[in-house]
Amino acid sequence: MSRPLLEVRDVRVSFDIRRPSDLPWTPPAQLHAVNGVSFTLARGQTLGIVGESGCGKSTLARALIRMLPATGQVLWEDGTDLLTLGPRQMLRYRSEIQMIFQDPLASLNPRMTVGEIIAEPLRTHRPKMGAKERRAKVREVMERVGLLPNQINRYPHEFSGGQCQRIGIARALVVEPKLLICDEPVSALDVSIQAQVIGLLEELRRDLGLTIIFIAHDLSVVKHLSDEVMVLYLGRMMEKASSDALFADPRHPYTQALLSAVPVPDPKVERGKKIISLAGDLPSPMNPPSGCVFRTRCPLAQPVCETQPPEELRGDHRTSCHFAGMPVPAE
């Protein structure tokens, strides 16, 4: 059997936090933003990663491409652990893994034209490519993402949010990556524009065989795009399953709560739907609850949840919960 494109094993990312009141000789406190996340991703698949703001989605994405230091293993399909590579060796893999970001305009250099922005990764990763070939390549990806050739000399501020995101996608695609990491690419866009950008990503995946990690804070956005969905909470995996299984049979109370917040198009179903509201606020990752990190907001929590972290149930449908599969009672 061939290797998956990406195999992530027990990845952890911590930040040192110094508060103004800390004395200079005390060690900094640790914030565990990503706390032991593992998954595999086969070629051509799309993995959706979902969770509330602050649960570690962006930190995980940045760790995978070495924008942040992490521990664990990030194995590429050739067996290389990306976390062990030096900057020069990593450069090669950085053209195979490209990323697009949430705020399309802010992630584009305002002083560069669209053509220059899209050509920039080619200058880094294909330094021997001639100017003519580079221009042809830029035009080709512009067309691919639905930008017009005559827009090549315009500046980012002349474009709408949706078009800026297309520019970001073109810049990512120009080096022909195998993996595209999309960090909340549509969260800042209007709903109608969201659908267009998601449609474009689906098209690219189909036509180019791209493998995609698609990050979102709500489940409805990832539903149609993802083959598999992973739900994170306070830097930990709560549940991971095929998209169909997760939506049809959510086993973790957190997933059930997230799903209950997704609007259903049919008004009859919507009216009869069970709403699960979670108690309290997201705890600080500086000071996570003992045992199961979700227990302070969990409608099913029992004393065991306070004392023991749940073991992860492995297999196709993974869950970290002492009471996985138990339905949360309606309010």
Ligand X SMILES: Nc1ncnc2c1ncn2[C@@H]1O[C@H](COP(=O)(O)OP(=O)(O)O)[C@@H](O)[C@H]1O
Binding footprint of Mg ion on the chain (CB under 5 A) = 57-58
Query: Taking CB under 6 A as the rule, does residue 58 contact ligand X?
Result: yes
**How far apart are the C-alpha atoms of 306 and 310, rounded to whole Å?**
10
Contact between 56 and ligand X per CB under 6 A: yes
**Given CA atoms 141, 147, 150, 155 in this order, what sign does their dihedral have?**
negative
CB of residue 215 vs ligand X: minimum separation in angstroms? 7
Question: Is residue 35 within the footprint of ligand X (CB under 6 A)?
Answer: no
Which of the listed partners (ligand X, Mg ion, none) does 31 bind, with a CB threshold of 5 to 8 Å by partner kind?
Answer: ligand X
Q: By rule CB under 6 A, what count of residues binds ligand X?
A: 12
Pick 30 or 307: Cβ nearer ligand X: 30
Q: SS3 for 171?
A: helix
For ligand X, which residue of 3, 9, 15, 66 counts as binding (CB under 6 A)?
A: 15
Token pair for 68: 């942040």
Question: Which of 5, 6, 11, 33 forms a contact with ligand X (CB under 6 A)?
Answer: 33
Picked from ligand X, Mg ion, none, the partner binding residue 296 (CB below 5 to 8 A depending on kind) is none
Element (H, E) at 59: helix 57-64
Work out whether strand 71-76 and strand 6-17 pair parallel, antiparallel, or are unpaired: antiparallel
The residue (of 52 and 227) whose beta carbon lies closer to ligand X is 52
Nearer to ligand X, 281 or 316 (CB): 281
Site membership for ligand X, residue 55 (CB under 6 A): yes
Residue 132: enclosing H or E segment and its boundaries? helix 131-144
Contact 231, 312 (CB under 8 A): no
For position 54 contacting ligand X by CB under 6 A, the verdict is: yes
Give the number of other Cβ atoms within 10 Å of residue 234's Cβ: 22
φ and ψ at 135, to 5 degrees?
A: -65, -40
- The amino acid present at 276, given as its one-letter code, is I
Q: In the complex, which residues of this chain contact ligand X (CB under 6 A)?
A: 15, 31, 33, 51, 53-59, 285
